[in-house]
Amino acid sequence: MVAPLRLTSSADGFVFEAAHFQPKEARRGGLVLVQEIFGVTDHIQDLARTFAHDGYEVLAPSLYDRRAPRFQAGYDEDGIARGRSLSEATPWSEVESDLRACVAALTGPVFVVGYCWGGTAAWLAAARVPGVSAVSSYYGRRIPELISEPPKCPIILHFGRSDPTIPPETVAKIRERYPDLSVHEYDAGHGFASDRRKDFVEDAARLARLRTLQLFHRNAGLAGDGGD
């Protein structure tokens, strides 16, 4: 892991690590980048570097540290099984407290972007974590678990139309519950923003990233109240 910070959860006092990336030029704000089920992999760290290149100070927290410190897994069946097991063993209340610690460690404006399991964690941040200015959520399969908790800051959602893990009914349910939400669908499957995966779609990844950066730029003067 590159340049880790050690952060403390206020909920239980647990100390966890977050890869830390500084912008080389003018700082646009802070960004919490939330992992896929596979942990803070080389891919997640590469994504963090690209956002740092765009002017963001990035923290990529290792949210499985209580159970598997510095966990990283591959995209094979074993990696999926291990990552999914850890994600299901990690309660959202724990994720919330760790994300709060990340946001508190950054000076504003602070944004959140999350992928896969992290896409649902990003929704949670929009709903519960104070000090978040805007959120971009990529293919958050478990958002229905938190759908009763409305986002309290601007948020955009990205889904692949052919994602077998997120059927059209799930996206429709979110649209119906929050008709004013920006929900973008792409001709792609799950994990389309990752160039390490067979579902990578370059055009979709580029467009979703552009929309994410535009969202952050538009909301650079806002600080959400999270759940407080």
Residue 188's nearest CA partner among 179, 174, 198, 178 is 198
- Please pick, among 65, 98, 163, 199, the residue that the annotation labels catalytic: 163
| Known catalytic residue at 190 | yes
Residues 35, 38, 43, 46: is their CA dihedral positive or negative? positive
- Annotated catalytic residue, options 102, 116, 153, 158: 116
Cα separation, 8 vs 42, whole angstroms: 24
Strands, sheet with 29-34, edge to edge from the N-terminal-most edge strand: 4-8, 15-21, 56-61, 29-34, 110-115, 132-138, 155-160, 182-186
163 part of the active site: yes
For residue 138, the surrounding DSSP H or E stretch is strand 132-138
DSSP-derived 3-state class of residue 131: coil
- Tell me the CA distances in angstroms from 50 to 12, 58, 94, 174, one per residue in order: 32, 10, 28, 29
Let me know if 42 is a catalytic residue: no
In this structure, the number of other CB atoms found within 10 A of the CB of residue 164 comes to 9
- Choosing from 102, 153, 190, 199, which is the catalytic residue? 190
CA 218 to chain centre: 19
Instruction: Give catalytic residues, as residue numbers.
Output: 116, 163, 190
